[in-house]
Structure 1
Amino acid sequence: MFSCSMKDQWFPYIRGLIGLGHLEAFLNNEGHSLPRGDDSSSIQGGDLTRDDAMPDAKGEQKSLEHEKMGEDHEWTDIEYLNCPPTLVAFLLDEKVWANVQVEHLTDIVWPERPFDSLGLEIGKKVLIQNLTCRFKTKEVTEVSNQDTGGVQGGNLCIFLTGPPGVGKTLTAEVVAEETHRPLYRVQAGGLGFHPSALEKQLGDIFLLARRWGAIILIDEADMFMTKRRASTPDQNATVTAFLRLFHTYDGLLFLTSTSKDIDTAFYDRIHATIEYTELDKTQRKNIWRRQLQRAIGSPEGHPPNSPWPEAYRLLGKVGTNGREIRNIVRTAEQLALGLSTDLSMKHVALAVRNFGGSDNYPRNAEEVSKTVQALVATPECNFAVRSGGHTVWPGASNIQDGITIDLDGRMVAGGRENAVGIGGLTTDGGKTFYTCRVGFACDQVVNYEVVLADGSIVQANDQEHSDLFRVLKGGGNNFGIVTGFDMVTFPSKDIWDAELVHAKESAPEVVHALTDFVGNLEAHPDAHVLAMWMYLPKADDHFIENLLMSLDGEQEAKSLSKFLAIPGQVKSKTTTIATKMDTFALPKAREHTWFTTTFKNDPRISQKAADVFESLVKMMKGQVPDHDFAFQMVLQPLPVSFGKHSAVRGGNMFGLEHIKDDCVLLVWTVEVPTPEMRTTVAFPALKGAIDEIEAYAKSLNSDVKFRYLNYCDASQDPLGSYGEENVRKMREAAEKYDPAGFSKEECPVASRSQRRTWHEAQMMAAVTLRPIVASMLSACMR
């Protein structure tokens, strides 16, 4: 193993540990050099031992002969002359083969006392040190089968489990540095799921790692370790194959997982299990120090007057996990590289600020009040407000050539995606994991703090400004800027969560299970289901994924049995709502289109929607280049009990208490790469599909007027679907609390073809909240 630092035609910057390919490259000019020119610049890590990357029998024999020479072999001038200037090497970070120049190879400089940077409690740290210390020697001393539980003599498997970003990967890195061995990191998602593909991939990885004496880390291995069940034969086969294969590596192997739903058979083959908890300030400081010392090339420490140690202490106070710290440091490195300067604290501060927010954001209602007064006094100063920006159509929660406003740091449990903010979700209604138990997010609000158009600050609740209080519960943030929420709380336990993946042919069974579930949901308020038809970019075909949850933690609850009985792949675990939310996120840098509709819980309509989805996938494949689009249809329960919960808590703007039938809420989401593709392909396709489904539902007398605001496209009329009485209340509240028509032009929230006033816009869409551009805000406030 060597360290390499060089610029390359195919890899802009190569830095890190490399493993040399095959020693015949040293011995003759017929070694396997990597193709250049029109050929691929690298042999991808997914096929690590393909024929053109592996030595032939002659080359392998020469490698063995060279290895027998020993390190004290004196090379002759002829032997040196025969050495090529470039060698085939495996880049451990990129997982690819590449040609590297010999002049750029150096011996690896290992850091001293690497365990000092590991923020584990002392008992766990000592245990890891004692278990792994025998790997410091070049040849690992084999121990008896009795000591290893009957597995391979040199094998040691350590299982690291806990939340994301708390040091599991760092532990493997530290052990690699302590033992002076390379770390071969493998993402479990990159391995084949079929047993034969998994065996081939692991075999290739073990072969290379064994050659270099590497330590192997298989990250997120829980996908291969999930508890086997009779209802998941395909997944059982994969788990069984991994169970048989993983401990055949005769070296040190780490497995990481965030799940506790592990098949018990693995614990018979795992030698130690280390559990991790959330990071504290000291642990975060150590991770910052380690990442930044790596980035600035100072593994041994800093000069006495260096500013970095104090920076580590301050950064430790930032509420981040290890993974986020690593990403921030990488962003700071790119900033410094783009400016052609050495990495400094100003680059880190800029990366942190853009990652987690700015101190220049308004912090309270008083500062927002000043902002609103400044906006009113500034002619033609366009603005918008948003929270998480969950509404995706252009203009819903942002503004071109204007100001976007947010109160940073305002977040409570409610949304089912980690990017959803409390502002838009709660004023627009808010479907949550707990809606069947306690109603919508807006039903939990007992008081709103609101900055009105004249800059005054009012409290809206049952006793004060009760008309404003009522319309804010689902009517959107169209009556002022909501700067505070008082909400009721309730006990929350660990939940049981399962993800079921089925072939598209299972659609009738999924529809049947969903229809039964919706009809019985009132009796099982702790159950939660999302039935999703999905097509991913460049995939061959679409599939169905059902997300099941038991909010009381009951595993495989009876109310979910019909979903669990459908053949497919199942991954389940006991977790928390906060952890679950991290798995939901909208992709960045894509153009999104959403449409929604509601219909009675009739399986014929749900099946019709599934058929239309399949037709749309085929159509879009013919119109989107390279099939580069993602398409999702989600069917969600909307039973009568949701309206009952709202009515008990004083009611909201939805008007669901007037709907007497259990319903299904449908949402289409399409992601395409360009705005043009959104306009010419995605929008007309979804608009036509919604029209077709609504016409079919109407023909069965199963159409429902309600449209959920957070899922609507700009062309739909959600607030108008709430009923005439609720529309009247919202119009009267807008006229009362904004008599001068504030934002008639400045806050264009809605958006059909023309710009509408605030009063007109509220009948079409809601304002949500977004971070303010600090420099623009400062300019307006001066």
Structure 2
Amino acid sequence: MPSYNAAFYASTIFAYLIHSVAANTCSQVGALGLNIKRSPSIEYLTEQNNYWSTGCGALKPACILYPKTANEVSAIVQVLHDNNETFAVKSGGHNPNEGFASIQGGPLISTKELNEVTFDSTSMTVRVGPGNDWEDIHKALQDTGVTVVGGRIGEVGVGGYVVGGGLSFLSAEYGWAANNVVEFEVVLANATVVTASSKSHPDLYKALKGGGNNYGIVTAYTMVAHPIGQIWGGNLMFSGDKAPQMLAAVRNFTENYPDEKAGIIMTAELTALGAVDIWIMFLFYDGPTPPPGVFDMFTNIGPIVNNCKTRSYYDLLKYNDFAVVKGSIYTITTETVPLPSFENGAEVMGAIYNNWRNTTKGILGVAGVIGSIAFQPIPKRLARKARELGGDLIDLDDDVDRIVIEFNYSYLFDIDDKTVDQATQQLYKGTRNLVTGFQQSGKLPDAYLPLFMNDWCESYFRQDYFARLRTADFARGVRDQYDPSGFFRDRTKGWKL
């Protein structure tokens, strides 16, 4: 009993000290005149409700800080240095990994007020702040005749998306979103504000393109502006029994990528007790109508719904927000698969799909569960375009076509966290084992298969993102140069080197 009491009192004192430090940070930042909100203010509660996953919103920060400039972010970082505590930075709140953009008890830095959208027609660039969602940016640019390479759902935030690489409907045409960044304005671990570009801090510039939150807090992105007019897009829906045709079609589309202006996401959905069993496709074409034949391999299967039409890019991204299921806990994980040959396609694609389907059927009793698998083509032309634009940490080669596969569960109650966690692990581990087995049998090519950090999909917190990057040594060296004390490594959660 005495040892128990000692442990109890020690833990109580530790918790008190942590709370006191957080409270001190909140007070010190408030004393600087910066915008700060605490519970139960409306702003605080609204921010906490603005996570895609309620599991993240359930974590309660001691306060929420709203810097409006890079210098204010710098001031916050300096206070955090002095108080030596854990913190988090939030952009759109899309990442479902708890603690990555959310925090219990510590300060949360919201980038909401860093919401600049400025088009410079002379340089053909757009300066955007990390506090924007992509629909905010496209709405602001609607009448300019230009766009930037960004997310495929309007409610996805800018911040984490870009430093994770950023897969876009425009990526086959223009590369990852990160390849389209001309400059990063970033607050470093020592609280200095620098501009990272191909000419200034070029090593940091490259590391930020796929390096996540390891190097600093980005306060602005200057991105290439691309011309755009009316686009075409929407959804096709198919019954669940169309799996063989759908899998064959996405394989063929990826290998024979018909047009760099085209983009797709192909998903299958299963819901609690098997009430819904469907395929939903997201289609995009950078033009008012796609040429004949671009999407025929899908439309020939016979969709039960086809709402694709000519519209503005903003309208499409805003419409795609329907895919966000509010009021649920999320887990998301990914795997990268080399494209199988036509001869082996049915076996390989079918095995991956069946692993998802069988695993998901095993948890359909979980309250409110929705299971989703998404197939996202990464054609060779995307890899070539990324390299032409200076490269990034992902460092794809064009030796093979690839498909990034996302697995997504949403469900209602945290009592099911363990069950869903086990199923999520079975999805990415099972897929990885299938890929390895097919490579050993010669049914899949050996290939470099990095994980994908951020976009519509994320790696799961249990996955080791950097272990799968062949640029990890470079990334680590840049981190050690710009954050030698491990400020972001030790004080924030995320995928760390």
Q: Shorter-chain TM-score: what band?
A: 0.7 to 0.9
Residue in structure 2 matched with residue 611 of structure 1 by the alignment: 354
Looking at structure 2, the residues matched to 615 and 355 of structure 1 have their Cα atoms a distance apart, in angstroms, of 33
8 Å CA contact retained: 1:364, 1:407: no
**CA offset at residue 553 of structure 1?**
2.1
Question: Which range moved further: 690-699 or 591-600?
Answer: 690-699
Task: Name the CA shift for 1:733/1:685 in 2 (closer, same or farther; >3 Å).
Answer: same
**CA offset at residue 477 of structure 1?**
2.3
Residue in structure 1 matched with residue 278 of structure 2 by the alignment: 543
Residue in structure 2 matched with residue 94 of structure 1 by the alignment: none
Looking at structure 1, the residues matched to 376 and 413 of structure 2 have their Cα atoms a distance apart, in angstroms, of 29
8 Å CA contact retained: 2:213, 2:488: no
Residue in structure 2 matched with residue 670 of structure 1 by the alignment: 409
8 Å CA contact retained: 1:384, 1:399: yes
1:447-458 paired onto structure 2 within 5 Å: 447-458=183-194
Residue in structure 2 matched with residue 588 of structure 1 by the alignment: 326
8 Å CA contact retained: 1:533, 1:610: no
**CA offset at residue 728 of structure 1?**
1.1
1:404 is aligned to 2:108: yes
1:729 is aligned to 2:474: yes
**CA offset at residue 577 of structure 1?**
2.1
8 Å CA contact retained: 1:598, 1:707: yes
Task: Name the CA shift for 1:556/1:510 in 2 (closer, same or farther; >3 Å).
Answer: farther
Secondary structure of the equivalent of 1:656?
coil
1:465-476 paired onto structure 2 within 5 Å: 465-476=201-212
Structure 2: which 5+ runs fail to align?
A: 1-39, 51-62, 116-128, 138-147
Task: Name the CA shift for 1:354/1:734 in 2 (closer, same or farther; >3 Å).
Answer: closer
1:709 is aligned to 2:453: yes
1:260-290 Cα shifts (integer Å, max 9, x gaps): xxxxxxxxxxxxxxxxxxxxxxxxxxxxxxx
Secondary structure of the equivalent of 2:363?
helix
1:198-217 paired onto structure 2 within 5 Å: none
Residue in structure 2 matched with residue 762 of structure 1 by the alignment: 496
Residue in structure 2 matched with residue 106 of structure 1 by the alignment: none
1:391 is aligned to 2:95: yes
Secondary structure of the equivalent of 2:67?
coil
Looking at structure 2, the residues matched to 740 and 624 of structure 1 have their Cα atoms a distance apart, in angstroms, of 44
* Structure 2 letter corresponding to 1:606: M
Task: Name the CA shift for 1:744/1:431 in 2 (closer, same or farther; >3 Å).
Answer: closer
Residue in structure 1 matched with residue 336 of structure 2 by the alignment: 598
Task: Name the CA shift for 1:556/1:563 in 2 (closer, same or farther; >3 Å).
Answer: farther
8 Å CA contact retained: 2:272, 2:366: no
Looking at structure 2, the residues matched to 362 and 605 of structure 1 have their Cα atoms a distance apart, in angstroms, of 49
Residue in structure 2 matched with residue 104 of structure 1 by the alignment: none
8 Å CA contact retained: 1:494, 1:576: yes
Looking at structure 2, the residues matched to 435 and 743 of structure 1 have their Cα atoms a distance apart, in angstroms, of 30
Residue in structure 2 matched with residue 632 of structure 1 by the alignment: 372
Question: Which range moved further: 689-698 or 387-396?
Answer: 689-698
**CA offset at residue 675 of structure 1?**
2.1
Residue in structure 1 matched with residue 27 of structure 2 by the alignment: none
Looking at structure 2, the residues matched to 395 and 350 of structure 1 have their Cα atoms a distance apart, in angstroms, of 17
Task: Name the CA shift for 1:510/1:743 in 2 (closer, same or farther; >3 Å).
Answer: closer
Looking at structure 1, the residues matched to 279 and 247 of structure 2 have their Cα atoms a distance apart, in angstroms, of 11
**CA offset at residue 538 of structure 1?**
5.3
Looking at structure 1, the residues matched to 158 and 453 of structure 2 have their Cα atoms a distance apart, in angstroms, of 15
Structure with more relative contact order (C-alpha pairs < 8 Å, separation 6 or more): 2
8 Å CA contact retained: 1:709, 1:719: no
TM-score (norm: length of structure 2): 0.75
CA root-mean-square deviation: 2.5
1:568 is aligned to 2:273: no
Determine which of 678, 685, 689 is the counterpart of 2:423: 685
Looking at structure 1, the residues matched to 487 and 47 of structure 2 have their Cα atoms a distance apart, in angstroms, of 32
Secondary structure of the equivalent of 1:692?
helix
Looking at structure 2, the residues matched to 437 and 501 of structure 1 have their Cα atoms a distance apart, in angstroms, of 26
1:697 is aligned to 2:412: no
Residue in structure 2 matched with residue 656 of structure 1 by the alignment: 396
Secondary structure of the equivalent of 2:428?
helix
Task: Name the CA shift for 1:351/1:589 in 2 (closer, same or farther; >3 Å).
Answer: closer
Secondary structure of the equivalent of 1:579?
helix
8 Å CA contact retained: 1:590, 1:672: yes
1:175-190 paired onto structure 2 within 5 Å: none
8 Å CA contact retained: 2:335, 2:405: yes
Residue in structure 2 matched with residue 366 of structure 1 by the alignment: 71
Q: How many residues matched?
A: 397
8 Å CA contact retained: 2:65, 2:107: no
Determine which of 442, 448, 465 is the counterpart of 1:718: 465
* Structure 2 letter corresponding to 1:660: D
1:407-443 Cα shifts (integer Å, max 9, x gaps): 2222345111222111111111000110000000000
* Structure 2 letter corresponding to 1:722: L
* Structure 1 letter corresponding to 2:331: T
Secondary structure of the equivalent of 1:396?
coil
Task: Name the CA shift for 1:744/1:495 in 2 (closer, same or farther; >3 Å).
Answer: closer
**CA offset at residue 719 of structure 1?**
2.0
**CA offset at residue 695 of structure 1?**
1.9
1:741 is aligned to 2:475: no
Looking at structure 1, the residues matched to 48 and 393 of structure 2 have their Cα atoms a distance apart, in angstroms, of 36
Question: Which range moved further: 738-747 or 560-569?
Answer: 738-747
8 Å CA contact retained: 1:592, 1:678: no
**CA offset at residue 762 of structure 1?**
2.2
Residue in structure 2 matched with residue 131 of structure 1 by the alignment: none
8 Å CA contact retained: 1:452, 1:479: yes
1:548-601 Cα shifts (integer Å, max 9, x gaps): 221212247412101001123122221222122222253233111111111122
Secondary structure of the equivalent of 1:665?
strand
Looking at structure 2, the residues matched to 693 and 363 of structure 1 have their Cα atoms a distance apart, in angstroms, of 43
**CA offset at residue 395 of structure 1?**
1.5
Determine which of 507, 510, 513 is the counterpart of 2:246: 510
Secondary structure of the equivalent of 2:307?
strand
1:361-380 Cα shifts (integer Å, max 9, x gaps): 2111011011111111114x
Structure 1 runs (4+) deviating above 4 angstroms are 349-356
1:426 is aligned to 2:169: no
Looking at structure 1, the residues matched to 44 and 491 of structure 2 have their Cα atoms a distance apart, in angstroms, of 31
Secondary structure of the equivalent of 1:543?
strand
8 Å CA contact retained: 2:360, 2:423: no
1:195-239 Cα shifts (integer Å, max 9, x gaps): xxxxxxxxxxxxxxxxxxxxxxxxxxxxxxxxxxxxxxxxxxxxx
8 Å CA contact retained: 2:178, 2:209: yes
8 Å CA contact retained: 2:164, 2:210: yes
Residue in structure 2 matched with residue 220 of structure 1 by the alignment: none
1:242-271 Cα shifts (integer Å, max 9, x gaps): xxxxxxxxxxxxxxxxxxxxxxxxxxxxxx
Residue in structure 1 matched with residue 265 of structure 2 by the alignment: 530
8 Å CA contact retained: 2:166, 2:177: yes
* Structure 1 letter corresponding to 2:486: G
Secondary structure of the equivalent of 2:226?
coil
1:50-69 paired onto structure 2 within 5 Å: none
